[in-house]
Structure 1
Amino acid sequence: MARIPSPIGQIHDPLFEEKGLEVWIKRDDLIHPHIMGNKWRKLKYNLLHVRESHLAGIVTFGGAYSNHIAATAAACAANQLPSIGIIRGDELSPDSNPTLRFASDQGMKLQFVSRNEYRQLKENQHQLQQIHPGYLILPEGGTNELAIRGCQEIWTEINQSFDYVITSVGTGGTMAGLLKAMSGEGKLIGISALKGNFIHSEFRNMLQHHNIPFENYELMDQWHFGGYGKVTDDLVAFINDTKEKINVLFDPIYTAKMYFAVTKLIETNYFPSNSKIVLIHTGGLQGIAGFIEKQKKNILL
């Protein structure tokens, strides 16, 4: 069973009190043990669409450690729907890491393709639809119009006002849903997990495509720790220190970078005194086991 609405609570930290700030966190990581965070939000209405339209199942894309692949596999299994995962990397197998093992154990059929073929299939979904007729084709990361609709509910569940809402950003779907739901009520800040300023134009294109106003948001790209999937020893130490300090576990790819950015913004007086801030914990914790196995770095679970 999903824990909806997800809980929200205040974070008590001497730094926040010193700066005169209230910092809260919405724990979407606690929605479901296997379909957590923004992945649950993004899949909700897509699964309803598959059932109501009597579609055959879901085909989607992802890398070796994809949160989206793991969550889609679990969600389809729970709904007794077939799922197919097209995985970037023809050198991989279902036994390559905990994420792929989990997806395979959930019944997802994994197809391992070269990086070139992966790119071609992503760009030519008509071809993929012909190969898998009757299936819903979900993009990498799971962001589409129905996913954005699901992410709007993160905000509608919050029954108090905040000056700032902060989320991590990958494809931008969660941020787009929040921005649409907030309608300018408070400022939305996105912390990109990706290196490069291309994320700004891609996000603007997404907003334009989904008719979401360009208002009252800021997308920050300086907290990526070297790029997507890049994790330093300092970040691992920060994750462990934070877990001991506030008893919240953040993942190294998305949410830890978001929380690190928040602490730095607070230290440098970005937020005016008496501001009320809410952070969105978008999940992603399934990837930690694979990260530990690959990087040989210890994160406190």
Structure 2
Amino acid sequence: MTAPPVSPSPRLPSPLDEVADERFARYGVRLLLKRDDLIHPAIRGNKWRKLAPVLAAAGGAGPRALLTFGGAYSNHLRATAAAGRLLGLRTVGVVRGEELAARPLNPVLARCAADGMLLHFVSRSDYRRRAAPEWHALLRERFGACLVVPEGGSGPAAVRHCAELGRELRGRTDVAAVACGTGGTLAGMAAGLGPGQRGLGIPVLRGGRLGREVRRMQREAFGGPRGAWSLDERFHCGGYARTPPWLTEFAEDFARRHGLPPLDRVYVAKLLHALTELAAQGAFEQGSTVTAVITG
């Protein structure tokens, strides 16, 4: 069933809320939540920040269609589909995994389809070509004129737009932490932070290549490195969309303690668990403030 129309206007800056959590307080650390999940009811969190430049371009004289890439549980695909519905744009989602086409759609892909996105399933080997211009040309031949949006929405314009997240946190925190898929939000956020602040990325995928990608995106967006940032790659729980039972229990407990809606397991729960563990390990100085970006 198609969701009812929603205004595309965002709520910015997103709220910044302090939460009292003894797992941080006992180490002298303040925990803030940057509620990017409240920016928009359909295009949530960092997805709005990344998609805003693309949506502005699609509203101009160019093609009124978006083509982008994602896995079976991609929040980016879901956000792009919702944006297309709200703004009257045609959307095509290139989904990793041919075998998925023969299965009932999971809730994420079902929501994409309900919002009007055409789902195109491809093999994993084809999906590796997602950044190749020659493949983009073939996809345009098949699906018509469209703006091609990178996986995760992390193009240079999107990274520059995510710098506003860092600017919203200037003077408010010592560490700004975000869960990372493609790394685009971290690349932009770190660029917007002020002196003495640092960004912390918690990758939700295995692989160990994300640091190189963040550096590449900063070069393309800003011409070189910007801001202080680091990655801690120990908290992916085995890989993307891997959510062991203990993580679900942690997420439910955290939401219950702080009166939050159910937490996203793929990104947000891993981020908050990582920060809880890092606080216990003494990774944050006593008297410091740590902000978790709740991306929805």
Same fold, judged at TM 0.5 (above): yes
Compute the displacement of 1:157 (Å).
Answer: 2.9
User: What secondary structure sits across from 1:52 in the alignment?
Assistant: coil
1:142 aligned onto 2:164: no
Determine if contact 2:204/2:235 at 8 Å carries over to the other structure.
Answer: yes
1:50 aligned onto 2:58: yes
Map 1:221-300; keep pairs closer than 5 Å: 221-248=233-260, 249-283=262-296
Determine if contact 1:121/1:127 at 8 Å carries over to the other structure.
Answer: no
Compute the displacement of 1:35 (Å).
Answer: 0.8
1:39 aligned onto 2:47: yes
Letter in 2 for 1:247: G
- In the other structure, the counterpart of 1:294 is none
Pick aligned residue for 1:89 from 81, 97, 105: 97
Determine if contact 1:21/1:274 at 8 Å carries over to the other structure.
Answer: yes
Determine if contact 1:179/1:212 at 8 Å carries over to the other structure.
Answer: no
Map 1:123-202; keep pairs closer than 5 Å: 123=132, 124-158=135-169, 160-202=171-213
Segment drifting more, 58-67 vs 94-103: 94-103
Question: What CA distance in whole angstroms lies between the structure 1 residues aligned with 2:219 and 2:94?
Answer: 28
- In the other structure, the counterpart of 1:10 is 18
Question: What CA distance in whole angstroms lies between the structure 1 residues aligned with 2:64 and 2:257?
Answer: 46
- Report Cα offsets for 1:114-136 as digits up to 9, x if no partner: 22333335433233344445310
User: What secondary structure sits across from 2:290 in the alignment?
Assistant: strand
Determine if contact 1:176/1:212 at 8 Å carries over to the other structure.
Answer: no
| Unaligned runs of at least 5 residues, structure 1 | 284-301
- In the other structure, the counterpart of 1:60 is 68
Question: What CA distance in whole angstroms lies between the structure 1 residues aligned with 2:82 and 2:15?
Answer: 22
Determine if contact 1:45/1:149 at 8 Å carries over to the other structure.
Answer: no
Identity %: 36
- Report Cα offsets for 1:201-252 as digits up to 9, x if no partner: 2222222333242542111101111122211111111111111112233211
Question: What CA distance in whole angstroms lies between the structure 1 residues aligned with 2:105 and 2:187?
Answer: 33
Letter in 2 for 1:3: R
Question: What CA distance in whole angstroms lies between the structure 1 residues aligned with 2:202 and 2:267?
Answer: 8
Question: What CA distance in whole angstroms lies between the structure 2 residues aligned with 1:22 and 1:54?
Answer: 47
Determine if contact 1:180/1:212 at 8 Å carries over to the other structure.
Answer: no
Letter in 1 for 2:200: I
User: What secondary structure sits across from 1:65 in the alignment?
Assistant: coil
Give me the TM-score of the superposition, normalised by structure 2: 0.89
Determine if contact 1:121/1:128 at 8 Å carries over to the other structure.
Answer: no
Question: What CA distance in whole angstroms lies between the structure 2 residues aligned with 1:268 and 1:220?
Answer: 13
Question: What CA distance in whole angstroms lies between the structure 2 residues aligned with 1:266 and 1:176?
Answer: 23
User: What secondary structure sits across from 1:107 in the alignment?
Assistant: coil
Compute the displacement of 1:56 (Å).
Answer: 2.6
Question: What CA distance in whole angstroms lies between the structure 2 residues aligned with 1:184 and 1:125?
Answer: 40
Question: What CA distance in whole angstroms lies between the structure 2 residues aligned with 1:120 and 1:86?
Answer: 11
Letter in 2 for 1:100: L
Compute the displacement of 1:37 (Å).
Answer: 0.8
User: What secondary structure sits across from 1:120 in the alignment?
Assistant: coil
Question: What CA distance in whole angstroms lies between the structure 2 residues aligned with 1:185 and 1:150?
Answer: 21
Compute the displacement of 1:191 (Å).
Answer: 0.8
Question: What CA distance in whole angstroms lies between the structure 2 residues aligned with 1:169 and 1:215?
Answer: 17
Determine if contact 1:200/1:219 at 8 Å carries over to the other structure.
Answer: yes
- In the other structure, the counterpart of 1:108 is 117
User: What secondary structure sits across from 2:275 in the alignment?
Assistant: helix
- In the other structure, the counterpart of 1:203 is 214
Compute the displacement of 1:162 (Å).
Answer: 1.5
Question: What CA distance in whole angstroms lies between the structure 1 residues aligned with 2:58 and 2:51?
Answer: 10
Letter in 2 for 1:190: G
Segment drifting more, 23-32 vs 148-157: 148-157
Give me the TM-score of the superposition, normalised by structure 1: 0.87
